[in-house]
Structure 1
Amino acid sequence: MDYKKNPSLPIMLSFLFICLSLNNHLSLGAETISANQPLSGDQTISSNGGNFELGFFTPGNSSRSNYYIGIWFKKVSLRTIVWVANRETPVSDRISSVLRISDGNLVLFNESQIPIWSTNLSSTSSGPLEAVLQDDGNFVLREGSANSPKLLWQSFDNPTDTWFPGAKMAYNNRTKQNMRLISWKNSEDPAPGLFALELQQNTNSYIILWNKSVPYWSSGPWNGKIFSSVPEMIANYIYNFSYVSNENESYFTYSVAHTSTISRFFMNISGQIQQQSWLESTKQWNLFWSQPRTTQCEVYAFCGPFGVCNQQSMPFCNCLKYFQPTSDKSWNLSDFSAGCARKTSLQCGNDTLANGKRDKFWEMPNMKLPDHPQTVAVGSSSECESTCLNNCSCIAYAYGDHCSIWIGELLNLQQLTSADTNGGTLYLKLAASELSVSPPSKKRMTLLLIFGITSVIVLCASISMCIWQRKMSKRKENRQINKRNQAHRMFHSESHVQELIDLGELKEEDEKGLDLPSYDLESIRVATGIFSDENKLGQGGYGPVYKGKLPSGQEIAVKRLSRVSGQGLKEFKNEAWGLWTDNMLMDLMDETLRDTCIADQFVKCLNIGLLCVQSNPSDRPTMSIVIKMLDGETVNLPAPKRPAFVIGRDQSSSTSSNKPKSINEVTNSLEAR
């Protein structure tokens, strides 16, 4: 046909192509697959009430091109798969793969048109067949018309991991076959996992099996209302449970009290059975109950060979020391079933290793010991260790009341808390290269802990002492600075007078005296070394006498009135004068000076001193006369009258204060000419 003569031909061809594409990618619009209507690509079928949908899907967030035929909740926004046909044999191309009725069965052909899954019916059918997705989630193959169909096969009899309301979990009393819920391998692989739920007919209870062989949980027997180990079943306001047993079969079934409730009962990859209901308000599944409900570590061998389960950590599973996950990808998907493997091979039985060092053991306290130990008759822990070390098949040992060793894989290991007294110590065999230093014993660990704590205490004490010493040093330095400042002030006062004398600026005028400086208590303390006992010259009734040294180097003597002295301030001031009048001046001399001091010179100095402190300034000698007196130029000195004493004044103030002074603040001051 010439499209130039028929310009509408390209438009018709384009429209036909679009229709074919839509037919390949849109839903079939019905709940049925028939001989004339297969399913492929993105086509799906839906149940009559719109509860469920069937088609090709890719599980989880898998980036692999693995496609499966499955059923999911159509009204749940979070896609939740409840049944899988080809769970062990995915297809890589959903477009060229097809699910259709062939030779009396429902068959899935892959991209190479090879059948990979089938309902596997052996009887032949004479009438037409159709596969229908029902609104209860049951996918059935039936023969005949919709009015009088004959059921040939149904998904309720071939569950994967999910148990639907209305379906049976049965045991065939005639064939002795169990119906099982088997978990997915992981969140991205619907292949059968390690955990399965089945009915145990002889006890009328359900059990969960690990690897189809090891039971690790039981529902307890049926008591007419609930299973004894599942008390949550009492809350039947959501679910109605029933148990039936007859000569043909024993089964358990349940229904939902409200048909609008979306619910599922499934065997999780965690090894727990869980019952959940969908909450549209939160767009999440709500957990109604789960078993085993106590701890995740109750699931048998949850962490796989050489994996340790710890209920106190997240994730629950970790590898033994010096082991690593067999598959990092599986562990990231919470599939720990493959467990862990050694990083370094053992020396025992391995002639290819060059170092030649014997294997060693790693101590693991507070452990729930692995399953399947072998008992060895030995008399001590060292003999038990030697037995395991010399047996290349032995990978661990423990010694308590007896010696236990383990051959092959370690399964069901669990780290217990320190408060759990049911654990034991496991000694794991490792390559010597991984334990270059022997693991510390408990005694050594205790000593190390004590040493560490003691070291911390000593360190803290040392730091505190250093801080205290620095503070004390700073205080001492500040006191020394204050003393130097005070000594400087005293030296400045003394040297000022000396300079005036040396420069001849002291004008000697009759009836006019010179105002000499006074010293405060702190200056006297500095000069006498804070009245130290080393500087003490003697003791009198008024108190002690101290020698001192001025900043200029001049030595002085200082009298200090004692607090406990029976004499008062008046006696203190007049004691020297009283000795003069009684002709007892030699009593003022310190006994240590009697052998070296010239008595005449001593009396002469006292005479001059008393003349310098006369009450009337006119009776006082001028400084030039004092010097002549001291030089011996004056032979006969006048007798002194009663001296004048005044309370010391503060040189830093221009006015005197009427404030009373304490005894220790008393200093002598005089006016000289």
Structure 2
Amino acid sequence: MDNKKNPWLMLSFFFICLSLNNRLSLGADTISANQSLSGDQTIISNGGNFELGFFTPGNSSRSNYYIGMWYKKVSLKTIVWVANRETPVSDIGSSVLRISDGNLVLFIESQIPIWSTNLSPTSSGALEAVLQDDGNFVLRDGSNNSSKILWQSFDNPTHTWLPGAKMAYNNRTKQNIRLISWKNFEDPAPGIFALELQQNTSSYVIVYDKSQLYWNSGPWDGKIFSWVPEMRANYIYNYSYVSNENESYFTYSLYNPSIISRVVMDISGQIQQLSWLESTKQWNLFRSQPRTQCEVHAFCGPFGICNQQSLPFCSCLKGFQATSSNSWKLSDFSAGCARKTSLQCGNDSLANGKRDKFWEMPNMKLPQNPQTVAFGSSSECESTCLNYCSCTAYIYGNHCSIYVGDLLNLQQLTSADTNGGTLYLKLAASELSDSPPSKKSMKLLLIIGITSVIVLCASISMCIWQRKMSKRKENRQINKRNQAHRMLHGESHVQELIDLGELKEEDEKGLDLPFYDLESIRVATGNFSDENKLGQGGYGPVYKGKLPSGQEIAVKRLSRVSGQGLKEFKNEVLLIAKLQHRNLVRLHGYCIEGSEKILLYEYMPNKSLDFSIFGWLLNLTPTILASMLC
């Protein structure tokens, strides 16, 4: 038979060709020269620590995909490296990562490259890209088992510093390996905060917008950074510093290699050291620098105010609103706030409008770099800022100082902080009241306010008194009905104990308190649950309970190992009953059933019970109580 005319042979040949397709096998750790990665395919490091593939950051609803690396063994997907952080792709089905012309390249549809390792073109026949178990993604020469590394992600980090990687300064090229924060939780594009090794020093700095330095670790003394003294208590990280003619760098390892840990330049502007806790399924913050969020330069943006006591930390000044509400929802406050109403100063369209005014803001950490103005009085200082249209605020102390342009690094201090000052913020007149109230109107308002408070308090007191009296009347009626019922059951119960020989007939006279059955006490205390347990004494545990009438009680349960028997229990009931006094906690009843011996006291909140009774009264022996009565 002619093979060329055999359709089945041709079809078999077609499937053989498909089987030789150069797509990557799922789970491998290497992309070879004739392979590619696309769609939902991933590669996994040999030890299973890391995984690399396409991902979508955060909870974004946008179809933005990135090539990135994350922990394989951490249940909360945590990205540690991103390739195309500035140029996402929208279709991972037509996007591929492969080796081309000696580089690792990400192509989108139409074979357009959008990210590359950027090496000089060479033959790519023997090259391979390998995801190592330490989180380093390398492009290396695989010919003759040379394993020469041509490019590695450790030299091109994004926002995460992994153990074993370098944070370095190249002494020859004068270039830094920097950690740069994400823009926000849903956008891995470079943000405005970066951590880098300072040139010609052994210290780290955090910079804002590539220029403004706002935190310094201090020099390395061989064990710690001098301005980070809490490193002395470090039991996770082992840092080391190397400096030579080619480079200066820090690296770190973990004392316990089984710990999963990382250092991150966070979008908050803080450098954070985190460790994964499998028991809580969360990243535990080990240390952050700067120590407080409000120390981060311009964290709340122009005309934003930082408050360390509130969440979120940032809010807008009076008369201002968030420039980008969507960014604020993603904890990106860098755009700050904008005026709601334009100022009258310098605005021709408001020439006939009311003059701008000032809003007093006490106890503020003041912005940096004010301009000193040579005027003596506070009114002259105010007038200067009012007439200078670029002036946005002023302060007045020993001298007059004004601020021109955006206000940055404003912070609301607590009343305990004495380092604050008063800032006078310029606002449009419509943002403030038209005129300050007169002394006469202020006095009238004060009188009206005080009178209203007195009337309100009196009304509330009357309502409380009426409800209290009504409740007392209702409780008296309920108690009368319950007392008859309890006494009836109590008499029969005591007689039963006499018949059994556990009590003498003369003891019956002393047990004239209400008897409660064990089941009702179990219901009142939630079956003696730990949530209702008030404390523990030598007598035994004490529980909080509530009777069906709503009355709260303290239930004292005799411990079987307390050493007290029925006789001692009965003596205590008699003695405490004789001590009934308005200034002492009242004994409401008792229970003797099987091995259970229980006393029911009036419940006193705010520690009155355990302080007044359990601290001294309940632990007194019957002999001492008897002597007190005498």
Quote the residue 1:324 is aligned against: 321
1:337-356 correspondence runs (5 A): 337-353=334-350, 355-356=352-353
Please tell me the residue identity of whatever aligns with 2:312: P
Shift in Å, 1:461: 9.2
Quote the residue 1:614 is aligned against: none
1:355–1:436 distance in 2 versus 1, CA, 3 Å: farther
Unaligned runs of 5+ in 2: 464-630
Cα distance in structure 2, aligned partners of 1:288 and 1:212? 26
Deviations 1:258-308 (A, max 9, x none): 222211111111111111111222221122221122x21111111111100
1:178-217 correspondence runs (5 A): 178-217=176-215
Please tell me the residue identity of whatever aligns with 1:409: D
Shift in Å, 1:61: 0.3
Quote the residue 1:297 is aligned against: 294
Cα distance in structure 2, aligned partners of 1:263 and 1:380? 57
> What is the TM-score of this pair, normalised by structure 1?
0.63
Cα distance in structure 2, aligned partners of 1:439 and 1:105? 71
Shift in Å, 1:123: 5.7
1:460–1:184 distance in 2 versus 1, CA, 3 Å: closer
1:236–1:375 distance in 2 versus 1, CA, 3 Å: closer
1:104–1:451 distance in 2 versus 1, CA, 3 Å: farther
The reply on whether 1:370 has 2:367 as its aligned counterpart is yes
The count of residues paired between Structure 1 and Structure 2 equals 459
1:33–1:327 distance in 2 versus 1, CA, 3 Å: same
The reply on whether 1:455 has 2:456 as its aligned counterpart is no
Question: What's the secondary structure of 1:178's corresponding residue?
Answer: coil
Preserved contact between residue 169 and residue 199 of structure 2 (Cα < 8 Å): yes
The reply on whether 1:132 has 2:130 as its aligned counterpart is yes
The reply on whether 1:107 has 2:80 as its aligned counterpart is no
Shift in Å, 1:133: 0.8
Quote the residue 1:230 is aligned against: 228
1:15–1:79 distance in 2 versus 1, CA, 3 Å: farther
Cα distance in structure 1, aligned partners of 2:398 and 2:187? 45
Quote the residue 1:48 is aligned against: 46
Cα distance in structure 2, aligned partners of 1:299 and 1:167? 26
Cα distance in structure 2, aligned partners of 1:184 and 1:71? 15
Preserved contact between residue 94 and residue 111 of structure 1 (Cα < 8 Å): no
Q: 1:410 aligns with which of 400, 407, 410?
A: 407
1:311–1:461 distance in 2 versus 1, CA, 3 Å: closer
Shift in Å, 1:67: 0.6
Preserved contact between residue 378 and residue 384 of structure 1 (Cα < 8 Å): yes
Shift in Å, 1:327: 1.0
Quote the residue 2:511 is aligned against: none
Please tell me the residue identity of whatever aligns with 2:357: K
Instruction: Indicate the percent of aligned positions where both proteins have the same amino acid.
Output: 79
Question: What's the secondary structure of 1:421's corresponding residue?
Answer: coil
Preserved contact between residue 360 and residue 423 of structure 2 (Cα < 8 Å): yes
Quote the residue 1:423 is aligned against: 420
Quote the residue 1:80 is aligned against: 78
1:425–1:248 distance in 2 versus 1, CA, 3 Å: same
1:71–1:401 distance in 2 versus 1, CA, 3 Å: same
1:245-256 correspondence runs (5 A): 245-256=243-254
The reply on whether 1:306 has 2:303 as its aligned counterpart is yes
Shift in Å, 1:7: 12
Cα distance in structure 2, aligned partners of 1:134 and 1:250? 24
Quote the residue 2:238 is aligned against: 240
Preserved contact between residue 100 and residue 124 of structure 2 (Cα < 8 Å): no
Please tell me the residue identity of whatever aligns with 1:455: T
Preserved contact between residue 91 and residue 111 of structure 1 (Cα < 8 Å): no
Quote the residue 1:271 is aligned against: 269
The reply on whether 1:399 has 2:403 as its aligned counterpart is no
Cα distance in structure 1, aligned partners of 2:422 and 2:120? 57
Cα distance in structure 2, aligned partners of 1:454 and 1:272? 48
Please tell me the residue identity of whatever aligns with 1:222: W
Question: What's the secondary structure of 2:111's corresponding residue?
Answer: coil
Preserved contact between residue 92 and residue 111 of structure 1 (Cα < 8 Å): no
Preserved contact between residue 300 and residue 336 of structure 2 (Cα < 8 Å): yes
Answer with 1 or 2: which has the greater Rg.
1
Shift in Å, 1:465: 13
Preserved contact between residue 96 and residue 111 of structure 1 (Cα < 8 Å): yes
Shift in Å, 1:446: 9.2
Preserved contact between residue 125 and residue 143 of structure 1 (Cα < 8 Å): no
Please tell me the residue identity of whatever aligns with 1:97: S
Shift in Å, 1:66: 0.5
Shift in Å, 1:41: 1.1
1:612-631 correspondence runs (5 A): none
Shift in Å, 1:438: 3.8
Preserved contact between residue 376 and residue 405 of structure 1 (Cα < 8 Å): yes
Please tell me the residue identity of whatever aligns with 1:414: Q
Quote the residue 1:283 is aligned against: 281
Please tell me the residue identity of whatever aligns with 2:65: Y
The runs of at least 4 consecutive aligned structure 1 residues that moved more than 6 Å come to 5-9, 11-21, 443-449, 460-467
Quote the residue 1:388 is aligned against: 385
Deviations 1:457-516 (A, max 9, x none): 66469879999xxxxxxxxxxxxxxxxxxxxxxxxxxxxxxxxxxxxxxxxxxxxxxxxx
Please tell me the residue identity of whatever aligns with 1:229: W
Cα distance in structure 1, aligned partners of 2:297 and 2:443? 38
Cα distance in structure 1, aligned partners of 2:101 and 2:6? 45
